[in-house]
Copies of this chain bind each other. A is one copy, B any other.
Amino acid sequence: MNKEQAPPILLLPINLFGSNKTMGSSNNKSRMWKTPFTVAFRCRLPIISAPMAGVSGGLLAARVCKAGGLGMIAAGHFQDISKLEKEIQIFQEEMKNIPATGTTTDDRSHSQHQSADLSIGFIGFSALSTPNGWKDYEYILKHHRPKAVQFFAPSIIHQPNDGLSNVQLAHEYNTQFIAQVGSISEAKEAIRHKVDAIICQGSEAGGHGLRRELGSSTMALASQVSKMTSIPVLAAGGIVNGKHLASALCVCDGASMGTRFWASKESTGNPKLQQELIKDNSCDDVVRTTMFDQIQNELSSIMWPHPYHSVGALHNQTSLEWEGKTAQELQNAIDKTELLDEYKSAQKASDPCVGWAKSIISRKPMM
């Protein structure tokens, strides 16, 4: 019945070409996919591995870079610079092991002061909000010289009254700045502040993103933003295989993928949750919802703000129970029942059936 047999989803080392020969061992320039993105960011494949907090460490980023993509280390909320520096060290060690194929020798000499492949992703609303946020950000730029940084909406652009914006500061250190947006208005603001590339995140993306009534689909958003600017535009959300990448390249210059890299051996995510991710789920099993954030915001010191207090997630008992009910009804349950305690226990046990767990896992790759 199947038109084609879907390949088994395995936790394999990252291999973007489907052959071990091509990973980290050859320097076959003929295989470069030339798009405005690969040219501007000096990589061989129009693929970014998304900086997923708690999942995208130095090893994953390095393996993606070696395979020819742009591998991102997640700084997340950037509350502890030492955690990030540990992952940067893992990244640099891994990059030393085998010569990278992602960046050519010429490219390296062109940008001798930069870390040829290091790229770091920050959560926009929180990463610069601690007392040391700006100082730490500049320290990372100055001492680690990343090739690129990425900031995720909301609050992508930070512009102190008396200083450089976070975009301008990156440019001072020859670091390229990538903005991940969820709407046309955010894209316009990013373009106004002279970012170097835009990732358009659609509603079908896993993890945090715009509330579902405000979002657009990946291809619709990427297609429109691509017409607004001459800088590279990438699509994010629902893209997990070669056909999807080809589909994205019809309307823009590349793709940023998260969930697909969650499913890799190199991810630092919880293995128990990773097993949920690779089960035989379908489109019908996922949802974009604010309910997990509403619960999580009761427990966490850092609260995702409106309109990004929403995640793309696999359905579980919690989401199925509360879907269709109002935020006020859920709030009543939070205030007056054992819901929070049950949730905390489930979270501690990485129980995918009750807690936040499956929302962290987010979307099933459509292999």
Contact in complex: B243, A282 (CB < 8 Å) = no
Chain A interface residue count, Cβ-Cβ cutoff 8 angstroms: 47
B217 touches A184 (CB 8 A): no
A1 on the B face (CB < 8 A): yes
- Do B3 and A221 touch across chains, with their CB atoms under 8 A apart? no
Please determine whether A227 and B2 come into contact, CB atoms closer than 8 angstroms: yes
A238 at the interface (CB under 8 A from B): yes
Chain B contacts of A202 at CB under 8 A? 217
A213 within 8 A of partner (CB):
yes
The minimal Cβ–Cβ distance linking A1 to chain B, given in whole angstroms, is: 6
**A183, A229, A282: which has the most chain B beta carbons within 10 Å?**
A282
Write out the residue numbers on chain B whose beta carbons fall within 8 Å of the beta carbon of A248: 247
- Of chain B, the residue at the smallest CB distance from A325 is B326
Q: Of residues 209 to 262 in A, which have CB atoms within 8 Å of B's CB atoms?
A: 212-213, 216-221, 223-224, 226-230, 237-238, 243-244, 246-248, 250-251
Given the contacts A216-B204, A224-B366, A282-B184, A243 and B250 also touching, CB distance less than 8 Å: yes
Residues of B within 8 A of A251 (CB): 243-244, 247
Contact B213–A323 (Cβ < 8 Å): yes
| A244 / chain B contacts, CB cutoff of 8 Å | 219, 223, 250-251
Partner of A227, one of B6, B216, B324: B6
Interface residues of A (CB under 8 A from B): 1-4, 6, 183-185, 191, 202-204, 212-213, 216-221, 223-224, 226-230, 237-238, 243-244, 246-248, 250-251, 282-284, 286-289, 323-324, 326, 366
